[in-house]
Structure 1
Amino acid sequence: MWGYLTLLPLFLALWAIAGVWIVFAIAVANRSVNLTQGFPYISICGSYPPQSCIFSQVLNVGAALAAWICVVRYHQLRDWGVGRRLNQLTLWFGLICVLGTSIVGNFQEKNQKPTHLVGAFFAFVSGNIYFWLQLVLSWRMKSLPQPGEPWLRLLRLSLCGLCSLLIVAMIVLHHWPLRSASAACEWALAMLLFALFGLFAVDFADLDGCALCLRPRPGLQPPPASATPSLASPTSSQLQLSRALSPHLPHSGAGSGPEPPGGPQEEPPGVSPPRPDGLGLRLTPAPEPGGHAEPARSRHPLPACPCLCSEGAQEARAQPSFCP
């Protein structure tokens, strides 16, 4: 069973490809572009209403989906042991590509041509560099998992090389000028970049989902307990339980809990290691066939303690998800 993270790249590719061709069809139908005078650029098709509204919406939604894919891919590579600097550099090129896509959709060529051209440069060039870096990571780091068939590497290599050739050809043909040929290169380049994003579905096939984790800084005091414990949420009840148990727990360091029996427990594979503060993304591996994925457990679980000193703590103790 494919998770929603597997379907996300496929949806992006289908959404973007179908969206730009619908814009082209509307532009031809209402004669905003004349095919007898030459094949139009994507931007020309999306410069006139009503298709300009659809064009902006398609690219904005596509940019949001692409940004989410880049972030998930960043955390996946981090869990696989990719170096922080190279991984962050790859992420930044992906996000610049996303920004350029949004600029292209919101600043049409007819209304704001210089800004539109800057966005197109970011989208095409940074997007191509992003996928080249992804390919370099898979070739240089032999220890990385290689999902999918072996020929997928060659397919990605071919698509990245073709994208680079199309970028050069598009610029050269535009200045000759052979505008129709340059526009055809632009359409082919956009389709290939959408297809490369869609191929991330193979890499995300082993992921079942993800969760956003907020981690407070060490030494910060927890928020005050609710004045009415009976109406407290599960999160506030858990905080009350932790405060009730804290006087009875030994402290081995700032903010650290008791050592579990048998030594420290390791995180399950595919789960991001906890960090002292900030915001993180926890990826959940897909369950094995015929089995179930184990839920991620805390590194320092609270031991059972008979000393429940407050009504809020007793209510929290009754929650099976916090204290089994």
Structure 2
Amino acid sequence: MFWYQQGLCILPVSLIVFSSATFIINYIIAVWRHDVDVILPYISDTAVSPPESCLFGLMTFISACAGVSTMYAMYKYMAKLGEDTGTISTCCNKSAFGLGLISCLGMCIVATFQETAVASVHLIGALLFFICGVFYIGAETYLSYRSSPYGTSLFICHTRLAISVIASVFFIPTVVCKFLEKDPFLQKTSAACEWIVAFSFISFFYTYIHDFKRFTLKVRTVCGTET
């Protein structure tokens, strides 16, 4: 059995592959078609014109579905650890999952409403994605420490903490410089920070592979009986 066939590894692996491909492939196409600058365009700018916009929308939706599936599996895993060890707060676990769902919704909004078409809705989607995404990985990092050593190793916990700090730190200039983007330098700074935050999220889910090797989920069907 290959490592990616163990447990539910296929979920975070699919999320990582599709998310990375969404950003990289659209960037390559947009640069090849001369739709964006080669150096540090905004992620959304790589998906303004077709065919990039069509591909970006499709791949982002697939990534969002993979994200929801991965987050749900982690939620159930933490819930089980909470039942067995009593170290996981049910409220915190549910809150983390809820933040993850909102972040995935923000991804879909960003992909559906292009910045050049409906700028205000696009901005709302981007804020939902980044803000809830930052809080989600922060909450999952906290839960990781709470579940250690039953859930994961301290090394993975420390790695998740480092990624969470990077995402949080670089999110601030992403937003601040965005609203001051009349200055070309600030615009490039905002775009660079946006790319760093996006790939911080992807790196965070890479750490899930270690956990997802250890468990599986089963579906139980219950049929009601007539009275």
Bin of the TM-score, shorter chain as denominator length: 0.7 to 0.9
Which is worse superposed, 2-11 or 118-127? 2-11
Q: Is the 8 A contact 2:81 2:147 kept in 1?
A: no
Normalized per residue, which structure has more helix?
A: 2
Could you tell me how far apart the structure 1 residues matched to 2:219 and 2:122 are?
Answer: 34
Given candidates 99, 102, 107, the residue that maps to 2:108 is 102
CA–CA separation in structure 1 for the residues paired with 2:220 and 2:101: 21
Further displaced range: 2-11 or 121-130: 2-11
Quote the Cα distance in structure 1 between the aligned partners of 2:7 and 2:45: 34
Aligned to 1:126: 132
1:33 corresponds to 2:41: no
Shift of 1:3: 2.7
CA 1:26/1:4 → structure 2, altered by over 3 Å: closer, same or farther? Answer: farther
Counterpart amino acid of residue 176 in structure 1: L
Matched residue type, 2:168: S
Q: Which residue of 2 aligns with 1:200?
A: 208
One-letter amino acid matched to 1:146: G
Cα deviation, 1:224-254, whole Å, max 9, x if unaligned, reads: 9xxxxxxxxxxxxxxxxxxxxxxxxxxxxxx
Residues 195-224 of structure 1: per-residue CA shift (max 9 Å, x gap): 1122211111112x32222446xxx6x159
Larger Rg belongs to: 1
Q: Map 1:293-308 onto structure 2 (within 5 A).
A: none
Q: 1:107 to 1:176 in 2, by over 3 A?
A: closer
Q: Which residue of 1 aligns with 2:167?
A: 163
**Amino acid in the other structure paired with 2:61:** N
**Which structure would you say has the larger RCO, counting Cα contacts within 8 Å and 6 or more residues apart?**
2
Q: 1:191 aligns to what?
A: 199
Contact kept, 8 Å, 2:20 with 2:202, in 1: the verdict is: yes
Cα drift, residue 111 of structure 1: 1.3
What is the Cα deviation at residue 131 of structure 1?
A: 0.9
Measured after TM superposition, the shift of residue 173 of structure 1 is 2.1
Identity level (%): 27
CA distance in 1, matches of 2:205, 2:112: 21
CA distance in 2, matches of 1:11, 1:141: 25
Q: Separation in 1 of the partners of 2:218 and 2:98?
A: 22
- The TM-score, its normalising length taken from structure 2, stands at 0.88
For 1:107-157, what per-residue CA distance to the aligned partner results, in whole angstroms no more than 9, with x for missing partners? 111111111111111111101101111111222355x61335x32222111
Residue in 1 that maps onto 2:60: 59
Aligned to 1:20: 23
Please say if residues 12 and 198 of structure 1, whose CA atoms lie closer than 8 Å, have aligned partners that are also in contact. no
How many residues were matched structurally? Answer: 215
Give structure 2 stretches of 5+ with no counterpart. 83-87
- The correspondence of residues 197-276 of structure 1 with structure 2, limited to 5 A, is 197-207=205-215, 209-215=216-222, 222-223=225-226
Which AA in structure 1 matches 2:41? P
CA distance in 1, matches of 2:161, 2:25: 29
- Amino acid across the alignment from 1:130: Y
Distance in 2 between the 1:155 and 1:223 partners?
A: 53
2:118 to 97, 107, 112: 112
TM-fit CA distance, 1:79: 0.7
TM-score by length of structure 1 reads: 0.62
Match of 1:311 in 2: none
CA distance 1:108–1:10, shift in 2 (3 Å): same
